[in-house]
Amino acid sequence: MSSLAIKQEIMTLEEQKQNPQTKARLAVLYAQRDAADGVVAAAVQKKQADADAALAKVAKKSRSGGGGSKEVHSGQLLACRDCESNFFVSDKEQAFFTEKGLTMPTRCYPCRQEKKAQRQGPQPMHISCKNCQKEFVHSIGAQQHYEENGWELPIRCVDCRAVKRMAPFAINCKDCHTDFNFSVGSQIHFKQAGWDAPSRCVDCRKVNKAKVTTEAATGGGDPAAEKVDEEEVIAVVAEAFAEKSAE
């Protein structure tokens, strides 16, 4: 995750209403930002040390009269407009900029890289799901869609959001014609198993199960209907297990 993406997510979360999940995510992002800033600072310090060493080397050779067959390279020490650290630009680099019709750099290399990342626009965001704790990607397109609709950043992954949208609903039993509740736990279990919603209530499914068992023992009954009823019997057991697990 880039330093720019981390800072963008921090700014977004800081504007939202603070809750334990947001605070926890911000704590992680602050640590990541500090680590990224540390890397940039180390790169700046290394660049500064290299520039100082190069300048000292040039000065030393100049004081010694430039003896030997080696060519002495001179240059210019500039101050970065962003971090204010010094960086070295050799005469060869200056000639290259002039030849290409470019202006002299006003930023050190790390700051130029940071500026380049900013010009590239928003980056995909990595968010930890509130429910399953897995990290999911909030794409650039999704960010734009959320911003256009005035929505806050998602705190759940797609799968957990789908479960969140589920709600219990009533089904009219095909046998007793009374409404029975199809719970969220049962919906999830049925969906994972690839089953359709049940057409009978639990009591009628139990009666139907007994009927199927009796007909199977006496050798009667329609085989096709028996197959369907057996599937409903499996569904009854599965639903009861799902409801028990949900409790």
What domain range is 206 assigned to?
166-246
In a domain, 133, yes or no: no
- Tell me which residue of 11, 36, 18 sits closest to 117, measured CA to CA: 36
Q: Residue 109 above 70 pLDDT?
A: yes
In a domain, 208, yes or no: yes
In a domain, 142, yes or no: no
Q: Are residues 114 and 25 in the same domain?
A: yes
The DSSP secondary-structure symbol of 174 reads T
Provide CB contacts within 8 A for 175, sequence distance 6+. Answer: 200, 201, 204, 207, 208
In a domain, 143, yes or no: no
In a domain, 136, yes or no: no
What was the pLDDT predicted at 192?
81
Q: Residue 66 above 60 pLDDT?
A: no
In a domain, 176, yes or no: yes
- 173 pLDDT band, cuts 50/70/90, is very high
- 2 pLDDT band, cuts 50/70/90, is low
Q: Could you tell me the CA-to-CA distances from 121 to 4, 8, 99, 144, 176 in Å, in that order?
A: 9, 11, 30, 12, 61
Q: Of 57, 90, 123, which marks where a domain is finished?
A: 123
Q: Are residues 117 and 207 in the same domain?
A: no
- 243 pLDDT band, cuts 50/70/90, is low
What was the pLDDT predicted at 69?
43
In a domain, 160, yes or no: no
Q: Do strands 179-182 and 86-90 pair parallel, antiparallel, or not at all (unpaired)?
A: unpaired
Q: Are residues 71 and 183 in the same domain?
A: no
Q: Of 70, 103, 123, which marks where a domain is finished?
A: 123
In a domain, 129, yes or no: no
Number of domains in the chain: 2
Q: Are residues 103 and 171 in the same domain?
A: no
Length of the chain: 247
Chain mean pLDDT for the chain:
76
User: What's the pLDDT tens digit per position in 33-64?
Assistant: 777 777 767 777 777 777 677 666 655 654 45
What distance in Å separates the CA atoms of residue 145 and residue 136, rounded to the nearest whole number? Answer: 17
What distance in Å separates the CA atoms of residue 171 and residue 190, rounded to the nearest whole number? Answer: 14
What was the pLDDT predicted at 238?
60
- 233 pLDDT band, cuts 50/70/90, is low
Most confidently modeled range among 19-33, 211-225, 229-243: 19-33
Q: Are residues 193 and 97 in the same domain?
A: no
